[in-house]
Amino acid sequence: MDTSLEPRKIDVLLFEDVNLLDVSGPVQAFKTACKNGRRNYLLRYVSLNGKPVKACCGLSLVAEAKLSAGSEPNDLLIPGGTGVDCLIKNQKLREIVQQRAAMGEARLISVCSGALVLASAGVLDGLVATTHWSRLADTHKYKKVLWDIDRISTSNGQIFTSAGVTTGIDLALAIIRADCGTEVALKVARELVVQLRRTGGQSQYAMHLAGQFTRDDTLTQLIEQIVSQPHLDWTLETLADAAGMNARTLTRHFKRDLDETPAQFVEKIRVDHARGLVMEGLPAKRIAVESGFGDLQRMRRAFQRRFGVGVTEYRAVFG
């Protein structure tokens, strides 16, 4: 019997004050993933005591079973939410997480602050991980974890973390793509009307969203151009021409709305684009060209300014 044809079983942990989007986003992606009319994932909703819980938005959620230790190599998806602060104190949950990690077959998938549950169980020690940016202070409690909060997702063998909310969908799509192929993942992305791929190395701060909070449409449109085409020769003069204003006025508008110069913003966008390509394992020279730096030396200096390490060191730690 070819076990590769069997659907993967995923236990979805429900708990008091869980973030509903952290549950529904990735779950809907997995539920939608079908090939030749066959579901690729079977989902089971579990809680610590098998009883219903209430999400932080007030919606009641019904569990199908009680989460328990055992020999079942089911994957475990742990969402985030304010209730995580109570979860991390639960010794039984930590033991179950450790047990599934030891099985080797079971995947541990965390969304948002759910990563703190994995960290409290010690299964993230020595691994690169991410969580929601608002939980930065909480990550300091787990010093053995290589936290990279400026990423939307990480993958370490059978252990996955994501920044939360919509990035839970990104992580689910990445897993579906690896399991079922690009065609299935693309169908899911189309069904959910989302991008098929936002690289795990991409910034969760989504700097291009800054364009939505500027005071004029001209600056918004310029920011969108920079984000979509970082490889172009964005000198101050080129930027000013594209915005239809002189260089001094453009600089004043950037400082007013984004608290940085046009050159600083362009470099930030290029570095964010480059780090995503680094995570994909592309050659450094190609990354430098595609992200707009042109040559390796300029890219190395930009990484040094942003992260305190060069491209090679960044790849070695986070690649």
**pLDDT tens-digit series, residues 95-104:** 999 999 998 8
pLDDT of 102: 92
Instruction: Please answer whether residues 132 and 162 qualify as being in contact, where contact means their C-beta atoms are separated by less than 8 angstroms.
Output: no
Instruction: Give the model's pLDDT for residue 203.
Output: 54
Domain 3-192 has CATH 3.40.50.300: no
- Residue 309 pLDDT: 81
Instruction: Name the DSSP class of 291.
Output: T
Structural domain boundaries of the chain?
3-192, 208-318
What does each C-alpha distance from 51 to 11, 13, 46, 54 come to in angstroms?
A: 15, 12, 8, 10
Strand-pair category, 60-61 with 53-54: antiparallel
Q: At what angle do helices 217-228 and 262-279 cross, to 10 degrees?
A: 30
CATH code of the region 208-318: 1.10.10.60
Q: Which residue from 285, 274, 284 is spatially nearest to 307, judged by alpha carbons? A: 274
Dihedral of the alpha carbons of 54, 60, 66, 71, in degrees to the nearest 10: -90
**Which residues, other chains included, contact 111 with Cβ-Cβ below 8 Å and sequence gap of 6+?**
19, 22, 23, 25, 26, 77, 78, 79, 80, 162, 164, 167, 168, 171
Q: CA-to-CA distance for 261 and 12, rounded, in angstroms?
A: 45
Q: Residue 3: what pLDDT?
A: 45
A 10 A CB-CB count for 171 gives: 28
Q: How far is CA 2 from the centre of its chain?
A: 32
How many angstroms separate the CA atoms of 160 and 124, rounded?
Answer: 10
User: Which helix (DSSP H) or strand (DSSP E) does residue 6 occupy?
Assistant: none
Query: What pLDDT is stored for residue 114 in this prediction?
Result: 98
Q: Are strands 159-162 and 153-156 parallel, antiparallel or unpaired?
A: antiparallel
Spatial neighbors of 259 by CB under 8 A, at least 6 apart, are none
User: Which residue stretches of the chain have pLDDT < 50?
Assistant: 1-3, 205, 208
> Which residue, 247, 246, 197, 202, is CA-closest to 227?
202
At 202 the pLDDT is 52
Tokens of 285: 């020279």
Start-to-end Cα distance in the chain: 36
